[in-house]
Structure 1
Amino acid sequence: MKEETIEKVRQELDGWEYLEKLPDSWHGFALRRIEEPLGDCYDIFTYESESLHKSATAYFHEETHEYKLRIKIGLIELCRIEFITADFAVFEALLKAQLESLLAELETFDPASISSIVRAKEILTWKTGNELPETLEGFSLFIRPAYPVKINNGSYIIIDYVDFALESSVTVYFNIYRDEFFSEARIWNIPDVNYDFDSNTLPELEERLQTYLVPRLQEVRRRAEAEDAAKKAKASAEGPCTGEEQS
């Protein structure tokens, strides 16, 4: 991040009364003030919950010269478009109007927030979805069809099997505009796409889950563990950094 950008943001944040008055705990999330650059972003503050594996972070994005709010749900991170603005005063107003309700939404599932299209698809009452194993191939069921999570561009997360220790997952989405189910994996938090779960109806998705879910989870675990082992072997071969030899 450019020094002039850092200085600009710090000037706008200097003595920011809103930040000083934020509660330390809000809807199960703990406040952490950051006010530091990270890559091309200047992170201002975050509300995070380790138990929920969720967070909401206010930041300035140098690439677009805008203030934004990103949320993290499990391993999936996205920018909430309703908070994007280049005007600091407008950003404060948006936070005042919507941040608390966003945290409440992240804390507790609200059926009223779910699109009528998702309801008509009968995803929330899908029998197979309600019978998914809590754990599978070492992954935990983090998001299930009865409690889908809305993200951007008309998509909902309906299934998310996660291994947080390996930062790896297999996720199934439903997009209301395309009327389509699709999937994405993450291996050490790097997206990995295949098309084995692409389908348009729940019966078709059920068949694909029966055929491909376990092999896909096994593949993701195998690749994540292999990458982890390779990193550890490389670190071991390089040895500790000892600095200058002592006399």
Structure 2
Amino acid sequence: MKDETIEKVNAEIADWQYLKELPEKWHDFRLDRNTKISKDSYDLYRYVNEELHKSATIYFHEETHEYKVRLKIGLIEFCRIEFITANIEVFEKLLKNQFEQVLMDMVEFNPKSLSSIVLDKKITTWETGNKLPETVEGFHLFISPAQPVKINNGSYIVIDYVDFSLESSFTVYYNIYRDEFFAEARIWNIPDVNYDFDSNELSELEAKMHQHFIPRLIDIRTRAEKEAAARAATESKQAEDEQPV
């Protein structure tokens, strides 16, 4: 991040009363005031719940020169577009009006967050989806079709199986604009896409899940564990190299 951007943000938040008055705990989330500056963002603070694997980060984005809110749910991070603004005073108003509800919705499912299109698609009442096993091939069902999660660009997380120890997952999305289901894997949090699950109807998705779901999970785990072994070997080698002769 450019020095002038850091100076700008520091100047704007130096006397920001809203920041000073934030509650230390809020709807099961803990306030983390540690700032973090990276190449393209300045994280001002975040609310985090480690047990839920969820967090909400308030930050300034170098590329667009705007204040934003970034949510992390499981391994998936996305920006809430309704908070985007370049003006810190407007940002404060948006936070005061809407941020608490964001935290509440991450703690407890809010049916009002769903588009009528999602409801008409009958995703939440999908019989097969609501009978998905809690654990498959070592992956835990983190998000189920009964409680889809709205992200951005018209997409909802419909199914999310995660192994947090390997930072790997299998996720099925539904996009209301394209009227399409599609899937993405993450292997050590790096997206890995194929098109085996692309579908327009739940019946089609169900058939493709029956055919491809288990093999896909096995593939994700195999590759994730291979990467874990490679990382462990590298760390072991580095430790040996650092030993005094």
The question of a shared fold, defined as TM-score above 0.5 by the shorter chain, is answered with yes
CA distance in 2, matches of 1:8, 1:36: 15
Does 2:117 match 1:100?
no
Aligned to 1:214: 214
- The Cα shift of 1:112 comes to 2.1
Q: For 1:58-77, list aligned pairs within 5 A.
A: 58-77=58-77
State the Cα deviation string for residues 39-94 of structure 1 (Å, max 9, x = none): 32110010011111111000011111111110001000001111111111111111
Query: How large is the RMSD of aligned CA atoms in angstroms?
Result: 1.4
CA distance in 2, matches of 1:5, 1:59: 12
CA distance in 2, matches of 1:86, 1:110: 29
Q: For 1:6-155, list aligned pairs within 5 A.
A: 6-155=6-155
SS at match of 1:34: coil
- The Cα shift of 1:193 comes to 0.4
Aligned to 1:197: 197
Alpha carbons of structure 1 residues 22 and 236: separation in structure 2 relative to 1, 3 Å: same
State the Cα deviation string for residues 90-144 of structure 1 (Å, max 9, x = none): 1111111111111111111111221111111111111101110000000000000
Alpha carbons of structure 1 residues 27 and 241: separation in structure 2 relative to 1, 3 Å: farther
State the Cα deviation string for residues 141-193 of structure 1 (Å, max 9, x = none): 00000000011111110100000111000000111111111000000101100
SS at match of 1:100: helix
Identity between Structure 1 and Structure 2 (%): 63
CA distance in 1, matches of 2:21, 2:227: 44
Could you tell me which amino acid in structure 1 is paired with residue 8 of structure 2?
A: K
Aligned to 1:164: 164
CA distance in 1, matches of 2:39, 2:167: 20
CA distance in 2, matches of 1:77, 1:143: 14
CA distance in 1, matches of 2:89, 2:214: 49
Aligned to 2:179: 179
Aligned to 2:227: 227
SS at match of 1:55: strand
- The Cα shift of 1:194 comes to 0.3
TM-score normalised by structure 2 residue count: 0.96
Structure 2 gap segments, 5+ residues each: none
CA distance in 1, matches of 2:88, 2:125: 43
CA distance in 2, matches of 1:72, 1:36: 16
Alpha carbons of structure 1 residues 241 and 97: separation in structure 2 relative to 1, 3 Å: farther
CA distance in 2, matches of 1:110, 1:39: 35
Alpha carbons of structure 1 residues 60 and 138: separation in structure 2 relative to 1, 3 Å: same
Bigger Cα displacement from structure 2, 211-220 vs 106-115:
106-115
Could you tell me which amino acid in structure 2 is paired with residue 227 of structure 1?
A: E
SS at match of 1:67: strand
